[in-house]
Structures are given as structure tokens and as C-alpha cells.
Chains A and B, each alone.
Chain A
């Protein structure tokens, strides 16, 4: 299965529509993308929503729960958070929400930077396969997929590829 540029852009628009009111009520909102897919989605939304503060980037390698089985993950660059997260409303962005483990790791890491006032989870695709009680507040699309199917996000142009990993 292949989701084309146009469809991905519609998904992003859908997210933007849902996030816009949040940004209006709290102009101090902080958007943070999870490396690396979440940063790409975050960049698009950050620009479209005209958020004042810089986009934050979170590298969750040091917080993953699979270290003991797969070891240290390839290095994707350090986390960069623009300002303090204390008492901030954070929009946490990722490309795909599946098991929920990435988001768990990301939230653990965020709390090592401070105590946010609120975290809103925004993902492009919320797929089946949840393993933790974590659901997106905002999503572009919801998909029912087999456990064997994986989603890959491409940019320039935007597209999503769904297929069985070989």
C-alpha cells in the first residue's frame, strides 16, 4: 500500500485544524518532535501553525526499553529543547503511534528536563498494535494493520509506504 503526497498533506491539514485552537488559547505552547520522523512532521506543523518558540527535537535512544535486547541504537543526534519545559504546554509530535513505547520513552525524557503543565500527543498515523494505555489526542489518520505490516514516512514529496518488512 502506498499513500501519496496529496493524502499525506490532507492528513497534515487535519492535524493542523485540530491543533490550531490549542495554539490560540496558549501562545506559549512548545512543539517537540521525536527524532527522526516526528521532527519531520513537527517541522511541517510548526511552520503551518506559526508557533513562536523554536521546534524542539527529542532523541529518545537513552530512554528506550529495548536496550537490554538490542543494545544502543544508532545515534541520531542529541536532544535539543529550545527553552525550559517547566509549566509549558507541550505538543509532542511523532509520525506513527503503534505500541506506545516511543511515547512512553519520550515522556520519561521530557520529565528529566522539567515538569510540563500539559502534554498533547499529535501523530500523523495512529495504527493498531497498542501495547500501552497511550492514545493520540490529535491524529491525521487511523489505520488497522497487521502486526507484520510496517509504516515508513518519506518527505519530498510526502508519502507513506505500508508494507511487510522483509
Chain B
């Protein structure tokens, strides 16, 4: 009744990586398993593997982003792919060229993969439905909808520290409404069977019918933190805050800021996560961000391995390749 997901190809394998919403537990786990293998590559003398040699990956960022773009760039380079950074924030798309025209131009330049960051929700979905079938699309964040690689690196980091997701109590604090990071995280946590997902913040930062997303809403942070295994902060978009959704950053910190004192309410081995960049003194106290329970820098490191895993999995599933010889030769 709704449109079929463009994520899967005819054979039912992942052709694009757009959202975590329709991926099963097995798929999410296999991505994390692959990432675990890729993470050792960064420890070696030569930090790349020849997997995507000769492939061209284009970073299409219609929105500014340093962290995500850099992580994708590094991942592509560690896989030996050629990388094209297209700065679309200041280019022809601002001169009235349609999104589709931009895509057609890049297709004609014979790129194999598009990494897309776009301000509109559903942009990655739209692009995946309209590119040539030889191209793989990875969603690098679209509007308020999805940020699936961030969601996966968060899950990977949780698994590294907690082993499994069963019985885990995960608390997500802040602007859930406008956060694609929260949406992807909540979706993956539910699929992986997390014990409980709590979201914390004022109603102005909660999506309509937030509990329909499989979470419990708390307006009080102290109450939400009791029994928490994982605490995820979200970046408060200060430009969205100007007196409308939250009176001030000072008020937000006083009500929802993660301080040492509040952290003590969670389980003693609770980990603290944040997608970055952190607003210290707004969402999180500096001593918590830098403290022993913080795994914020692990998230950054894991971001490269997760993206290497995602890029190689979907590139390996590219339609024409699978078509030619799905069985492959015995590799003796």
C-alpha cells in the first residue's frame, strides 16, 4: 500500500543505504560485524585495503558538514576508492538548477556511488529512486528524517561497550523532533531489541505522537536517568532555539544538561554518547564530555569503520555485477 522501499534491489539485497527503518536485526548485525573487521585496518602501517580500487565515490553535500563528510572521505580512501568532493552548498544548485539535473551531470561523470547529505526529509529516498541502477546511494543525512550511518556507528559503539542490546536502558536527551540522528537511533535500537528507549525533553522538542515511535517520553531528566545503561545527548540546534522551542540555552542546561551530578543517577557503568559537535554547557558538562564514561571519541573512530562496511556491502551488491555471475568462481 505504501511505496516499496528503494533500498533493496531485485534480489532483495541492499543496493542503497537510506534508512534503518526497514532493515532487520540480521542486516544490522552483519553491518556491525563487517565494521569490526574494518576497524583493524586503521591500526595498520598501511591504512587502506584495495576493495573499492577504481571505483569513484562522489560526496554530494547540499548541506554543510565537516564531520560526516570527512568520515565518509576517509572511509572511501581506506577502501582505495577515488573520491570526488562536490561542494553543492555554494554551487549551481543555488542558481536554480534542479536536484535531478545535478544528479544527471554526476551520473554522466561515471560515478559509482553517491554519498548524499540534503536538507529535505526524503531527499535520499528521492535520489535513490531516480539514479541509474548502476549507482549506489548512501544517505549521509536527509532533513529531519534519517542519518543511518550515524545510527549504525552509535549501535556499533554501544555493542562494543555493552556486548548486547537486550535489557539495555537507553536514554536519548534533547531535540528529538528535529533530529535525524535520534530517528535512526530509535529505529535501530527497537530492531536490535533494546530493553527500553527513553526520550527526554520538553514537548516542544518531541515529535507528535512520539510514543508511536517505540519510546517512552520523560519530561524530567533525573527520573529518566535512573537505571540508564546508555545516555545519548543530541546537538541542540541553537538557531532553532531562539526563544521558540526552548527559552534559552541556559534554561536548557539547567533543565536537561547532563552534569556529573545527574550522571550519578544512571548505572555506574553507563556510557555517555553524543553525535557531536557538542555544545558544552548547553547539552553536556565539559567534565562529562571528557570524563571516563564518555565514549564520544570512540564514536568518531567507529564512524569510519561503519562507513567502510556500508560502502563495501552495498557496492558489492551493485546490480550489474550481481547479474553477471552471482555464484562467482571458487576462490582456492
Contacts and interface: CB of A to CB of B under 8 A. Distances in A.
Q: Do chains A and B touch in the complex (CB under 8 A)?
A: yes
Interface of A: 59, 61-64, 66-72, 75-80, 96-102, 108-109, 112-114, 127, 129, 150
B45 A69 contact: no
Contacts of A100: 332
Interface in B307-321: 312-313, 315-317, 321
Nearest to A150: B330
B44 A98 contact: no
Contact of A78 (B30, B39, B50): B39
A96 B330 CA distance: 12
28 contacts: A62-B37, A62-B38, A62-B50, A62-B312, A64-B331, A66-B328, A66-B329, A68-B321, A70-B326, A70-B327, A71-B13, A71-B313, A71-B322, A72-B34, A72-B312, A75-B37, A77-B36, A78-B36, A78-B37, A79-B40, A80-B40, A97-B332, A98-B332, A99-B329, A113-B45, A114-B45, A129-B332, A150-B330
A66 B321 CA distance: 10
A112 B46 contact: yes
B34 to A, nearest CB: 5
A108 B49 CA distance: 9
Given A62-B51, A70-B316, A71-B321, A99 B331 contact: yes
Given A72-B316, A75-B34, A66 B40 contact: no
A127 B330 CA distance: 13
Contacts of B330: 98-99, 150
B3 interface: no
Nearest to B322: A71
A79 B43 CA distance: 11
Interface of B: 13, 30, 33-34, 36-41, 44-46, 48-51, 312-313, 315-317, 321-322, 324-332
A146 B319 CA distance: 32
A75 B325 contact: no
A129 to B, nearest CB: 7
B209 to A, nearest CB: 38
Given A62-B41, A78-B40, A112-B44, A96 B49 contact: no
A80 B329 CA distance: 27
Nearest to B35: A75
Contacts, number: 83
Given A62-B49, A78-B36, A150-B330, 4 more contacts: A62-B50, A75-B30, A99-B332, A113-B44
A72 B49 CA distance: 13
Contacts of A114: 45
A2 B322 CA distance: 34
A101 B45 contact: no
B331 A101 contact: yes
Contacts of A67: 51, 312, 316
Among the interface residues A72, A97, A99, A114, which one has the most CB atoms of the partner chain B within 10 A? A72
Nearest to A105: B331
Nearest to B48: A112
Nearest to A111: B46
Given A66-B331, A71-B313, A71-B321, A108 B50 contact: yes
A62 B199 CA distance: 39
Contact of A69 (B40, B312, B315, B321): B321
Contacts of A63: 49-51
Contact of A112 (B39, B45, B325, B331): B45
A71 B331 contact: no
B37 A59 contact: yes
Contacts of B51: 62-63, 67, 72
What 10 pairs across the A-B complex have the smallest Cβ distances?
A: A98-B332, A71-B316, A70-B328, A62-B49, A112-B46, A78-B40, A72-B316, A75-B33, A78-B37, A69-B325
Contacts of B50: 62-63, 108
A102 B332 contact: yes
B331 A102 contact: yes
Nearest to B312: A72
Contacts of B313: 71-72
Contact of A75 (B36, B327, B331): B36
Contact of B49 (A98, A101, A112, A127): A112
A135 to B, nearest CB: 13
A127 B33 CA distance: 32
A59 B49 CA distance: 12
